[in-house]
Amino acid sequence: MSDRTALDPSGAFASRHIGPGDDDQAAMLDALGYGSLEELVDDAVPASIREAAPLDLPAPVSEAEALARLRDLAGRNQVLTSMIGLGYHDTVTPPVIRRSILENPAWYTAYTPYQPEISQGRLEALLNFQTLVTDLAGLALANSSLLDEATAAAEALTLSRRASKAPAGAPFVVDTACHPQTLAVVRTRAEPLGIPVVEADLGAGLPEGDLFGVLVQYPTTTGLVRDDADLVAAAHERGALVTVAADPLALCVLRAPGEIGADVVVGSAQRFGVPMGFGGPHAGYMAVRDGLQRSLPGRLVGVSIDADGDPALRLALQTREQHIRREKATSNICTAQVLLAVIASSYAVYHGPDGLTAIAERVHRAARTLDRGLRAAGVEVVHDNYFDTVCARVPGRADEVVAAALAAGVNLRRVDEDHVAASVDEVTTAAHLDAVLDAFGAEADAAGLGAELDDAPAVAAGLARTTPFCTHPVFSSHHSETAMLRYLRRLADRDVALDRSMIPLGSCTMKLNAAAEMEPITWPGFAGLHPFAPLDQSEGYRELIADLERWLVEVTGYGAVSLQPNAGSQGELAGLLAIAAYHRSRGDEDRDVCLIPSSAHGTNAASAVMAGMRVVVVACDDQGNVDLDDLRAKVAEAEGAIAALMVTYPSTHGVFEEAIGEICDVVHEAGGQVYLDGANLNAMVGLARPGRFGADVSHLNLHKTFCIPHGGGGPGVGPVAVGSHLAPFLPSHPLVPECGPGDTSPGPVAAAPWGSAGILPIPWAYVRMMGGEGLRRATQVAILNANHVARRLADHYPVLYAGRNGLVAHECILDIRPLTKATGITVDDIAKRLIDHGFHAPTMSFPVAGTLMVEPTESEDRAELDRFCDALIAIREEVDTQPDLLRGAPWTASAVLADEWEHPFTRAEAAFPGTVSRADKYWPPVRRIDGGHGDRNLVCSCPPMEELVDQQP
Ligand X SMILES: *Cc1c(COP(=O)(O)O)cnc(C)c1O
The residues that touch ligand X, with contacts defined as CB under 6 A, are 334-335, 507, 567-569, 601, 603, 648, 652, 677, 679, 701, 716, 718
DSSP 146: B
Q: How many CB atoms lie within 10 A of CB 500?
A: 18
Q: Tell me, what amino acid is at 751?
A: A
Q: Cβ of residue 649: shortest distance to ligand X, in angstroms? A: 10
Nearer CB in complex with ligand X: 235/600: 600
Nearer CB in complex with ligand X: 249/567: 567
Q: Cβ of residue 185: shortest distance to ligand X, in angstroms? A: 16
561: three-class secondary structure by DSSP: strand
Residue 64 Cα distances to 8, 61, 99, 585, 766, angstroms? 11, 8, 21, 48, 13
What is the distance between the alpha carbons of residues 524 and 75, in angstroms, rounded to a whole number?
A: 9
Nearer CB in complex with ligand X: 506/888: 506
What is the distance between the alpha carbons of residues 84 and 76, in angstroms, rounded to a whole number?
A: 21
Nearer CB in complex with ligand X: 716/741: 716
Nearer CB in complex with ligand X: 253/605: 605
Q: Cβ of residue 679: shortest distance to ligand X, in angstroms? A: 3
Q: Cβ of residue 574: shortest distance to ligand X, in angstroms? A: 12
Label residue 513 left, alpha or beta by phi (over 0 means left) and psi (-120 to 50 means alpha). beta
Nearer CB in complex with ligand X: 132/334: 334
Nearer CB in complex with ligand X: 708/895: 708
Q: How many CB atoms lie within 10 A of CB 104?
A: 18
Q: Cβ of residue 97: shortest distance to ligand X, in angstroms? A: 25
What burial letters (b/e) apply to 182-198, b meaning 16+ CB within 10 Å?
bbbbbbbbbbbeebebe
Reported as type and span, the H/E element at residue 596 is strand 593-597
Strands in 192-322 per DSSP E: 197-200, 213-218, 241-246, 264-268, 284-288, 301-305, 311-315
Nearer CB in complex with ligand X: 81/603: 603
Phi, then psi, of 703 in degrees rounded to 5: -85, 5
Nearer CB in complex with ligand X: 678/771: 678
CB 831 within 8 A of CB 844: yes
CB 40 within 8 A of CB 755: no
Q: Cβ of residue 569: shortest distance to ligand X, in angstroms? A: 3
What is the distance between the alpha carbons of residues 299 and 278, in angstroms, rounded to a whole number?
A: 26
Q: Cβ of residue 152: shortest distance to ligand X, in angstroms? A: 15
Nearer CB in complex with ligand X: 155/677: 677
Q: Indicate if the alpha-carbon torsion angle 839, 845, 851, 853 is positive or negative.
A: negative
Selection from 682, 85, 667, 143 nearest residue 412 by Cα: 85
Strands in 442-590 per DSSP E: 560-562
CB 868 within 8 A of CB 789: yes
What is the distance between the alpha carbons of residues 13 and 9, in angstroms, rounded to a whole number?
A: 8
Quick one: the chain helix, strand, coil %, rounded to 5?
A: 45, 15, 40
DSSP string, 167-226: PTTPPEEEETTS-HHHHHHHHHHHGGGT--EEEE-GGG-PPSS--SEEEEEES-TT-B--
Q: How many CB atoms lie within 10 A of CB 68?
A: 11
Nearer CB in complex with ligand X: 263/677: 677
Q: Cβ of residue 832: shortest distance to ligand X, in angstroms? A: 23
Q: Indicate if the alpha-carbon torsion angle 492, 496, 502, 504 is positive or negative.
A: negative
Q: Cβ of residue 818: shortest distance to ligand X, in angstroms? A: 26
Nearer CB in complex with ligand X: 188/428: 188
Q: Cβ of residue 865: shortest distance to ligand X, in angstroms? A: 21
Nearer CB in complex with ligand X: 4/328: 328
Q: Cβ of residue 568: shortest distance to ligand X, in angstroms? A: 2
Nearer CB in complex with ligand X: 206/848: 848
Q: Cβ of residue 810: shortest distance to ligand X, in angstroms? A: 12
Q: Cβ of residue 528: shortest distance to ligand X, in angstroms? A: 26
CB 423 within 8 A of CB 432: no
What is the distance between the alpha carbons of residues 797 and 627, in angstroms, rounded to a whole number?
A: 26
Q: Which residue number places its CB atom closest to ligand X? A: 568
Nearer CB in complex with ligand X: 597/741: 597
Residue 890 preceded by cis peptide, ω within 30: yes
Q: Cβ of residue 811: shortest distance to ligand X, in angstroms? A: 10
The burial class, CB within 10 Å (0-12 / 13-18 / 19+), for 162 is: exposed
Q: Cβ of residue 142: shortest distance to ligand X, in angstroms? A: 20
What is the distance between the alpha carbons of residues 155 and 140, in angstroms, rounded to a whole number?
A: 18
Nearer CB in complex with ligand X: 248/713: 713
Q: Cβ of residue 813: shortest distance to ligand X, in angstroms? A: 14
Phi, then psi, of 395 in degrees rounded to 5: -45, 120
**Partners of 288 in beta bridges:** 141, 264
Contacts of 143 (CB under 8 A, 6+ apart): 130, 285, 286, 287, 296, 297, 298, 299, 300
254: three-class secondary structure by DSSP: strand
Nearer CB in complex with ligand X: 357/648: 648
Q: Cβ of residue 158: shortest distance to ligand X, in angstroms? A: 17
What is the distance between the alpha carbons of residues 101 and 346, in angstroms, rounded to a whole number?
A: 9
Q: Cβ of residue 660: shortest distance to ligand X, in angstroms? A: 15
Q: Are strands 241-246 and 264-268 parallel, antiparallel or unpaired?
A: parallel
Nearer CB in complex with ligand X: 77/556: 556
